[in-house]
A and B are shown apart, each in its own frame.
Chain A
Amino acid sequence: MTPSEGARAGTGRELEMLDSLLALGGLVLLRDSVEWEGRSLLKALVKKSALCGEQVHILGCEVSEEEFREGFDSDINNRLVYHDFFRDPLNWSKTEEAFPGGPLGALRAMCKRTDPVPVTIALDSLSWLLLRLPCTTLCQVLHAVSHQDSCPGDSSSVGKVSVLGLLHEELHGPGPVGALSSLAQTEVTLGGTMGQASAHILCRRPRQRPTDQTQWFSILPDFSLDLQEGPSVESQPYSDPHIPPVSKNAKARTRKCSLVSGHGRENKSCRGWGWGQGF
């Protein structure tokens, strides 16, 4: 069984969900929260890309390389090119072992590729970069990286590029999130209820109206997907009147943001971490 055939094994619906997230290429925004983490889905997409024979690069800023690789078998791990920006991301050790120019330098280097092999770049996390880099600079680099396979007049056939960006929604204001959203071909917003996770998927296909769907799922220990029907209406949790819903507080406390140059003023957060669903 070839890697591509192996990647297409499994339930058709599972493949449909993962395929729909990777099919368009470009920037895929994975929006997670404290309560519904997105790294597992990021790893599931990384595994899918690796099994499809793509070149897979990981920009690891938030967790160690060992932690990210945990759960992948050796076949998958051997296909991953890991750029470690966890140990010394700010070069406090003054050695610049990871990569000159840090994560942004590594991203910019990927803009210069001429390889025809399709590539997937996983950013773990996009939030880490957005907190420390100017939003405009990051957006420019992301646009250049994720659209290098569609440059007009370019005679070289650069392979399809997918950029998977993990974004922690509570950390950023609507301005930066909106800017990234406008760049994304696909947006996945993670949520759930009663212990079941859901993904709201918004796809922006060229010259078509955006489509959206909600998929209930769980991620298995080997980072394959198990698609589910979702909770019944009767099993929805009783809303505790003493616990304010997260969305209500987040809306009440979110302030208007504008894309102002400088790191700190852009990163205005939403108070959305109170796990406000009733228990």
Chain B
Amino acid sequence: MFVELNNLLNTAPDRAEQGKLTLLCDAKTDGSFLVHHFLSFYLKGVSLTMARERGQLVFLEGLKSAVDVVFQAQKEPHPLQFLREANAGNLKPLFEFVREALKPVDSGEARWTYPVLLVDDLSVLLSLGMGAVAVLDFIHYCRATVCWELKGNMVVLVHDSGDAEDEENDILLNGLSHQSHLILRAEGLATGFCRDVHGQLRILWRRPSQPAVHRDQSFTYQYKIQDKSVSFFAKGMSPAVL
């Protein structure tokens, strides 16, 4: 979790808003640091291994599951069974896996607080042959369950390939943008690689609860990824050049 990013977003683990969809997007750069930020944000103070053992973290490993569904006989519906079907129309089995994973487990321990669904990344589903609208439908149902019904949060990552011919990715990206409350877009610098500035981050808040909230709509910062943190600064204000 990057404290500076929390400050920019005016949020903290103990006062995060609920029922929100956050869209992460990367273009000409690697936005995985944003995924890591939100993963540690929502699991603050808990190791991933321990969280998994306790059932607090449910992890669908897409690559491994894809191998299972393709090379092993399946008796029950599989979340990724669209890989076996010639004309898979929707991602309903994947949604049902998500809904099942969110059901509270009666283990005698204290129930968890609101759930979080983190998807890394949706562009893979397009690459595997699903249509953009099918992916949007999957996210719609997840949003209805996670954000509306369970008052939880969602974080999804989509890559922007920059390919003008990739219409499906455009529809997915723009469709999700309209559904999102917060958009974080990491972009590589137009001028190419720089040792001290690794990219720029655009932040756009959408769908405030009140239309005239006095909150600036969008910001752009540049950033540098370090060993265990990310530093953010105004454009052209890198410490290396000051």
Contact = CB atoms under 8 A, between A and B. Distances in A.
Real binding pair: yes
Contacts of A62: 178-179
Contact of A220 (B209, B212, B217, B218): B212
Nearest to A267: B171
A279 B218 contact: yes
Given A195-B217, A219-B211, A275-B204, A168 B178 contact: yes
A18 interface: no
Interface in A55-78: 62, 64, 66-67, 70-71
Interface in A238-279: 242-243, 252-253, 255, 263-264, 267-273, 275, 279
A218 B212 contact: yes
Contacts of A252: 164
Given A37-B178, A86-B148, 12 more contacts: A34-B204, A62-B178, A89-B140, A90-B137, A171-B171, A195-B217, A221-B211, A255-B167, A263-B133, A264-B131, A271-B170, A273-B177
A125 B140 CA distance: 13
Interface in B5-43: none
Contacts of B179: 62
Contacts, number: 97
Contacts of B148: 64, 66-67, 86-87
Contact of B167 (A40, A92, A263, A269): A269
A219 B213 CA distance: 10
Given A195-B216, A220-B211, A279-B220, A264 B133 contact: yes
B202 interface: yes
Give the interface size bracket for A toward B.
35 or more
Given A131-B171, A220-B211, A221-B212, A92 B136 contact: no
B158 to A, nearest CB: 11
Interface string B67-103: 0000000000000000000000010100100000000
B95 A35 contact: no
Interface string B203-224: 0101101111000111110000
Nearest to A32: B178
Interface of B: 90, 92, 95, 131, 133, 136-137, 140-141, 144, 148, 164, 167, 170-171, 173-175, 177-179, 183, 190-191, 202, 204, 206-207, 209-212, 216-220, 235
Contact of B204 (A35, A92, A218, A271): A35
A90 B211 CA distance: 30
Contacts of A125: 178
A223 B212 CA distance: 9
A88 B212 CA distance: 31
Nearest to A64: B148
A219 B140 CA distance: 27
A89 B95 CA distance: 14
A220 B175 CA distance: 26
Contact of A34 (B92, B95, B136, B178): B178
B164 A71 contact: no
Contact of A269 (B140, B170, B190, B220): B170
Contacts of B133: 131-132, 263-264, 267
Contacts of A34: 174, 177-178, 183, 204, 206
A11 B218 CA distance: 30
A73 to B, nearest CB: 13
Contacts of B209: 70-71
B137 A269 contact: no
Contacts of A87: 144, 148
Interface string A13-50: 00000000000000000000011010110010000000
